[in-house]
Each structure stands twice: as C-alpha cells, then as structure tokens.
Structure 1
C-alpha cells in the first residue's frame, strides 16, 4: 500500500474509533483488514500527531496547581480544594477533602499517628464511614493529650472514631502536652505508660497533622496545652512562625529550640519528620507563612489545602 493510501486508511480508522466509538474488531470487519493492523495504525496515528489527547479539567479541580506545588516543594502529593477565604468555609472544604483522602489511600497495614488537637482532622474523621476491612493496626496519639476536661473529650473522641473506622487499636498519650519545667517533662517521659507510646512512634507509617501559626488555634487554646505569654515571646524572638504537633519552626522551616520545646511530652522534631507519609490538612490566609515554612522544612510531604493558599505558596 502506498503512503497516501496508508495515511487515508489510518485517518479513517482513527475517526471510526475515536469519533464514532466503533470497536477495533468491528472496524477490522468493516474495512476487511486484520484487527492487529487496526491496532498498529491507531498507535501510529497517535505517534504521528493525527490523534491528540486533550484532557479538559472539570470545574473545581486544580491538577496543574497541584503539580506545580509538588514540583516546587518536593511533595509526594498535593490536594487542592475550591474554597472561599472565610476561615470556616476553608476548614469545611479541607475536612471534606481530608476525609476523601483517607478513604482512598488507607488500604491496609498502616499505623496512624494523629495530632489530636486539629479541628480540621476532627471534622474530617467525623465524616468518615467505617471501612469494610481493617486498614490500620493502631492509631497513636502523637503528643500529650490531657487538658481541659471539657475539651479533652474532643481529642479522645477523635482517636476513638478513627480507630473504630479503620479497625485499629487506639493508643492514647497518657500525659499533658506541656509540663511546667523541662525536668518535669523529662521525668514524665520515663514513666512506663508514656514510654509505651514513645516506643510506638518508630512504627508509625502515616501522620495526620495540622500546621499551626504562632497564634494557637481556638481548639488548642481551649485545651490548655499552650504556651504562656513568656513562652510566646521567647518563640517569637527566636523567629518561630508555625508548628506541627507543637514543635515550632522558623520561616526557613528549621526547628526552633526553646525552653517551651524542652517542656513538651510527645514526638520530637526528628521523630515527626522520620514518619514516611506526613499529611497536613491546612489552609486559610492566617496560615500562609506557617504552611510555607513547614513545606520548606520538610515537616510534611502531603498537603491538603485551598486554592488561594496554593497560589500564595507559588508566589513565595
């Protein structure tokens, strides 16, 4: 067959298959050629640009933005959701996206570490439907969770709900997050019940965390697990802009050593960043600087955020 005839046949097969939706076997029968030849000509049509694939993104999806964030900050994955700028609206959108992320990525064998004072993750976990099979062996609280009794119930509920949904065993951190002195914190870390939780940390395969600004969230403030005015000034003077699990970092993402840090009981900075999959659900204008710093410092490698925050991260 000469080149013109070959091109004509290739173009006709391409139109029959891609535009009219005719099966390859039916094309072969109608044109009296073999099915392998139909397949070869369809491949050649794609190779030579006769057939081009165009992906039209649905409204409310941000694939290009997600890929740019991943490339800029070296993330394993970025999930961007459509939300306004109102903080409550952003939090609801992030919670819905975080719940969907868990539903699609928890497939079995994980040990989940959980930041129990994240309002976004609490809202996400409340949305979760129980998995049909066990998808995690344990849910481990990453840092001390004892606080104001009227608020502590939320942290306890969060661990319990996620454990029930995933079929995992709940592992609660039996201490406050913040002690009065470094010596008191060091002593508590040697308590057998606390050692039990600390020894589970190297087994954690996925951490679900928030990214906090220097100003604590409403939930954390109510819990009582926060710093004093003196701590706040010390952290600010040291350049702290945000935290993951109360481990504060500066604008470059470097961990900020402080008296407050030495009074914490929970996963330390190195332990947190050693967890293979570190998922943060965070967004909103108030947290732009903290999220940017957390990404620079490698505190998380999966980010669920809103479109406005994602665009701001690309402008940094």
Structure 2
C-alpha cells in the first residue's frame, strides 16, 4: 500500500502503469490508494500562495451570510483599493458569467468602471442585457464615462445595452414621480425586475470622487437630513443606516431608478467596495441584505470580522422600512 501510494503521488505514475509494474489489478491499486488516505499514509496539504485569504473569506461568508466573498491585498490609498478591487472584479466576472444573465450595473461606480476596462471580450455571449440601475445625467464629461461603462460591459458580454433615459436626481419628489410615468423611463424600470446579477458599489456619506465630479451629489440639506436619520452609506444612491435598514428621506423620493426593494431582491448582488472610510457602509450593506457577494480588501475584511456578531437576518429585515 505504501509503495503504491509513493508511486502514484511522488513519482506521478498512472494507476494502469502501477498495476502493470506490480502485477496487480487496477481496481486493487485504486482501493489501496483510497485506504492509504484513510490510514494516514497519504495526507493532503493545501499550500496557499501569498495574497490568498481563504480563511478570511470563509469567515466573512459565515458571519454575514454571504454566498461568496473575495478578499484581496491593497494599499491604504483610495486609488490603491480601487485598482485592486477592479482587478478582482474583472476576474470574478470572467469566471462566473456563464450565460443567460440580465446584468444590472451601477454606472457611477469607479471600481466597476476600472474593472470593465480590464475585461476581455468573451468568445460567446454570457449575458442577455446590461441595464443601467438608476438614472444618468450629471456633467457631460462624466456622463460619457457612465455611458461608456454600460456599453463596454454589453460589448464584452455580448449583451444588449439598456440605458436609463432620465436624470438620477430630480429637483422635487413630484417631478421624479411624474418622470417615472414617462413611457421610456417606465420601460427601463419594468426591466429592472428581470435583473439576475447586479454589480454595485457601496458609497459612504462622503461622496466618491467620481460622484462628486458628476454633480449627482447630495446637498448640504440632504446630508443633514440623512445624517439625522442615521444613514451611513448607500447602494445606487439608496441610503441605509448602520443595520442596513433603508433610510427614508426627501432625497430618496427625488431619485429615479431601482428602489431598495428591487435592489435587495436581485438573486445575485455583487458589490466591490473597501477602504477605511467605507467600513461602516460596507457592514451596513451586508447586514441589510443589499449584497450577497462581496469583493473587498484585506483591511476591510478584518475590520468587518472585528465587529460584534451581527443580528440575525430575521432581526435586521424585520426592523427595516421602505425607502
């Protein structure tokens, strides 16, 4: 048994070769190899390469009920985190998009913008549609980036691009409500129910450089109202508190795009987010069920695990309100 184990595992011989050399049957070789494992003659050792954080990923999945987590090395600058997460995001898409999905995309995410730019075109279509999750507009030079992001991902995946034909933020709730009834806007809103994979960022109350550049920011009055309501972060400009519960506000009513209920109902909800200023926002997004696949940096991962064990999913969802 020991000799067969050494021939197979150390010398790299095939079972048929071993059977011929030792004049035994191949089924006997197979049985003895199995027994060698059971008796401890053969032991499996997994040597993880540097920069691999499998234990952290598994701990986060268990702690926060995630279906998958990807943890990567990154320096502590915003640009360093964005670059590392973008590379991981591109790799995640390359390995998990297999066909038939309708992708919902947050077009103001700097991380996904960088990830899509790294994505090589698939040889065969792996998605049916790429849909913008909320309105566009903003400063023209920045709007080009958002439009390009949707178009590039659609081209890479062989999908149809679906753009949001409206601003993200209106001046009044009444104007937003009226625009939602527009035929072209209503058409996109209806398609959001068919999204099977969402790709989003997680924002903090401090706007990202891309969002600040776009002009789609909250006003000082909005900030004050959101802080007073306990908001710590947002997904697609839908704000939530430290427990992930949607925060109702005048700003929320002025938005045109996927609402909290739609965003949290998507079957696979992928977020790429990290960096020290987003720790509270990322945790809130996990607790509130806004995300079920997280791509993040190692420092954020450790910070999330250092927090007290979260409430159960039942406790968190039961405490929420409609956005």
Kindly indicate whether residue 243 of structure 2 is the aligned counterpart of residue 252 of structure 1: yes
Hey, what does 2:42 align to over in structure 1? 51
Find 1:283's aligned residue among 263, 269, 274.
274
Q: How does 1:99-110 map to 2 (within 5 A)?
A: 99-110=90-101
Hey, what does 2:119 align to over in structure 1? 128
Hey, what does 1:180 align to over in structure 2? 171
Cα distance in 1 for residues equivalent to 2:233 and 2:272: 14
Hey, what does 1:147 align to over in structure 2? 138
Cα distance in 2 for residues equivalent to 1:48 and 1:72: 34
Hey, what does 1:262 align to over in structure 2? 253
Kindly indicate whether residue 209 of structure 2 is the aligned counterpart of residue 224 of structure 1: no
Q: Deviations over 1:83-125 (max 9, x none)?
A: 1112111111111111111111111111110001001100111
Count matched residues: 307
Poorly superposed stretches of 4+, deviation over 4 Å: none
Hey, what does 1:119 align to over in structure 2? 110
Cα distance in 2 for residues equivalent to 1:23 and 1:100: 34
TM-score normalised by structure 1 residue count: 0.95
Cα distance in 1 for residues equivalent to 2:42 and 2:127: 45
Q: Deviations over 1:61-99 (max 9, x none)?
A: 111111111111111111111111121111111111111
Find 2:203's aligned residue among 212, 215, 229.
212
Hey, what does 2:22 align to over in structure 1? 31
Q: Deviations over 1:204-262 (max 9, x none)?
A: 11001000001111111111212110010000000000000000000001111111111
Structure 1 unmatched ranges of 5 or more = 1-9
Q: Deviations over 1:123-147 (max 9, x none)?
A: 1111111111111111100001111
Kindly indicate whether residue 56 of structure 2 is the aligned counterpart of residue 70 of structure 1: no
What's the Cα RMSD here? 0.9
Hey, what does 2:321 align to over in structure 1? none
Hey, what does 2:154 align to over in structure 1? 163
Q: Deviations over 1:267-310 (max 9, x none)?
A: 00000011111110101111111001101111011111111111
Cα distance in 2 for residues equivalent to 1:41 and 1:165: 49
Cα distance in 2 for residues equivalent to 1:240 and 1:109: 36
Cα distance in 2 for residues equivalent to 1:165 and 1:26: 46
Find 2:74's aligned residue among 83, 93, 96.
83
Structure 2 unmatched ranges of 5 or more = 308-323
